[in-house]
Structure 1
Amino acid sequence: MFSRSLVRMAAALVLAWLLVLPAQARAEGLLVFAAASLKTVLDQIAEDWRARTGKTVTISYAGSSSLARQIEQGAPADIFISASVDWMDYLQSAEMIRTGSRRELLGNRLVLIAHGREAADVDLEAGADLAELLGDGRLVMALVDSVPAGVYGKQALSSLGLWDRVVSKVAQTDNVRAALALVSSGEAPFGIVYASDAMADAGVSVVAGFPEGSHAPIIYPGAIVATSVAPDADNFFSYLSSPAAEEVFKAQGFTPLFGQGNG
C-alpha cells in the first residue's frame, strides 16, 4: 500500500507539473507551431533571428492538422504557420487567431521522390504505370485525409488517373517529413513530398513534378494565435516577411508570397 501511494503521489505531481507547463512556456519565450515541411528553413531563420536579437524561438513541428487541433485544445502557441489554408480557416472560424494578423507567407511545389541521387525520371503525365514501378514497395505519403501534403498528393494522383491504381500500395505517415525519411532511408522506393523537402535531404532525388493544376494551390498562411501574450510575437512574425528571411526561403525551395497584396 505504501509503495502504491508513493506511485500515486508521484503521478499527481507529474500531472500538476504538466498542467502548469503551458503557462510557463508562454511566459518564458516565443513558441511557434509550424508545418513539418518548414523545419529546415525555419530552424535557420530562428537561428538568424537569435543572432540578430539575442532572443530564442521555440518551434514545434508536426502535421498542420495536428497543430491546429492542439491550438484548439489550448496549446500555448504564439504563432501558427500551416501548410494549407484549410487548417488556418479552421482556427479562424473558431476565432482562435488574432484578427488582422493572418497573411499568406509561402508557396511550394509537389514532387515525386525516389531513394538515392540517381533515380530515373518518371513521366506522370504520360500515363506512367506508377503501380508497376513500385513493385512490392510502398508509396509513402502524409495522411491523405488531413495532412496537407497528403491531401495535395491524393488530389494530384486522382487528377492524373493514378490514385485507384496505387491506393493499395500507399503507406501513410503523420507528416511529410516522416514520408521523406522513409524514402531517404530506403524503407520505401517512392514518396510524395514538397520540393523544399527534397532539397533538404541528400538521400532522395526528384523524379517527377506534379502539374500545378492537378491539385489545390500550395499556400502556407501564418497568423498570431489569439491567446498569445508573447511580447516578441509581432516582431518575429514580421521578420518572417523580411528581405533577410525571403532569401532563406528562396534558397530552400519556397516561393515567398508576402508583399503581394495579401497582408
Structure 2
Amino acid sequence: MKPLRHSALGILILFWCAVGGAVADATVYAAASLTNALQDIAKEFERQHRIPVKLSFGSSAALAKQIEQGAPADLFISADLKWMDYLDDKRKIDHASRRNLLGNTLVLVAPLGKGFPVTIAKGFDFPGAFTGKLCTGQVESVPVGIYAKEALTHLGWWEGLKARLVGTEDVRAALNFVERGECDAGIVYQTDAKQSKKVEILGQFPANTHAPIVYPAALVTPSKDAKAFLDYLGTKPAGEIFRRYGFATLER
C-alpha cells in the first residue's frame, strides 16, 4: 500500500503545481533597441509585483512574423508602427490595449577614434566623405533600416550609398559591425549608440528627414500578468529608466 500512497501523493503534488501552484509570468517580445532599458524595468517590476518577466529581443519584423506564426508572446513592443499595424490587421494583437510608449532619435556613428566631418543636410557630399561600408538594419524590413533609407533619400544620399550599404537583422547587429570596424559608418538609434564605448556619434538626423520613430506596445494574449507589466511601462519609475537610456516617453 505504501507505493500507492506515495503515487497518490505525487499525483496531488503535480496537480497542485499545474493548477494552483504554477508560477505566473509575462512573456514579452520587444525590439532589440529596448534591451537594456527593459531588462532594468523588468527587474524592478519583478521586485515589486513578484511576477517573472521573460524577455525576448530581436528585430521587430522577425518578432512580428514569429507572433503571426503562433510564438508564445503575451506582449509585443515594436520599434515602429508598421509591424504593429501588420499584426493588428491580422488580428494577432488586442487592439484596445495598443498604445504608443516611446520615441527615439536616428544618429550617424563611426568607430571610436575614426570619425570624420559630416554635415547632415542636403547638399553635403556624404557618400564622398568616407570610403567604406555603411551599416544599418535591412532597409526593406528592419525599422532602423527603414528610417535610415527614408533619411538618406530625403537628403539626396541614397543613390550614392546604396551599393555600399550593409543591412543587418536588427539595430544591435549594425552597431556591432561599426564597433568592430567592419563598417566605417552606421545609422542606429541614439539610445543604442549611447550604450557603446566603441563608437562615436557624428550627428543626428533631423526629425523631418524620416517618419517619427515611435515604439507601440500591445497585448498578444489576455494575460493579466502581461497587462500588469504593460501598465507598469507607463508609470513614473519606468519612465525614468526609459529616459535615462535616452528614450522620449510619449505616455505620461
Match for residue 84 of structure 2?
Answer: 88
Amino acid across the alignment from 2:120? L
8 Å CA contact retained: 1:110, 1:194: yes
8 Å CA contact retained: 1:27, 1:230: no
From 145, 154, 162, the equivalent of 1:150 is 145
SS of residue in 2 equivalent to 1:133:
coil
1:181 positional shift: 0.8
Q: TM-score, normalised by structure 1?
A: 0.84
8 Å CA contact retained: 1:117, 1:202: no
From 155, 160, 163, the equivalent of 2:158 is 163
SS of residue in 2 equivalent to 1:124:
coil
8 Å CA contact retained: 2:138, 2:167: yes
Match for residue 233 of structure 2?
Answer: 240
Query: Aligned pair 1:74/2:70, yes or no?
Result: yes
1:127 positional shift: 3.0
SS of residue in 2 equivalent to 1:40:
helix
From 46, 51, 54, the equivalent of 1:50 is 46
**Stretch of structure 1 that moved more, 229-238 or 172-181:** 229-238
From 96, 115, 119, the equivalent of 1:119 is 115
1:202 positional shift: 1.2
1:27 positional shift: 7.9
CA distance in 1, matches of 2:59, 2:123: 30
CA distance in 1, matches of 2:78, 2:122: 32
Amino acid across the alignment from 1:214? T
CA distance in 2, matches of 1:213, 1:117: 29
Query: Aligned pair 1:184/2:192, yes or no?
Result: no
8 Å CA contact retained: 1:81, 1:223: yes
8 Å CA contact retained: 2:24, 2:52: no
CA distance in 2, matches of 1:249, 1:117: 28
Match for residue 231 of structure 1?
Answer: 224
Query: Aligned pair 1:129/2:125, yes or no?
Result: yes
How many residues of Structure 1 are paired with residues of Structure 2 in the alignment? 231
1:119 positional shift: 2.7
From 156, 169, 175, the equivalent of 1:174 is 169
8 Å CA contact retained: 1:109, 1:194: yes
Q: Deviations over 1:67-86 (max 9, x none)?
A: 11111100010000001111
8 Å CA contact retained: 1:131, 1:169: no
1:28 positional shift: 5.5
Match for residue 141 of structure 1?
Answer: 136
1:139 positional shift: 0.2
Larger radius of gyration: 2
CA distance in 2, matches of 1:30, 1:153: 32
From 58, 83, 104, the equivalent of 2:100 is 104
1:178 positional shift: 0.2
SS of residue in 2 equivalent to 1:33:
strand
**Stretch of structure 1 that moved more, 94-103 or 26-35:** 26-35
Q: Which consecutive residues of structure 2, in runs of 5 or more, have no partner in the other structure?
A: 1-21
SS of residue in 1 equivalent to 2:129:
helix
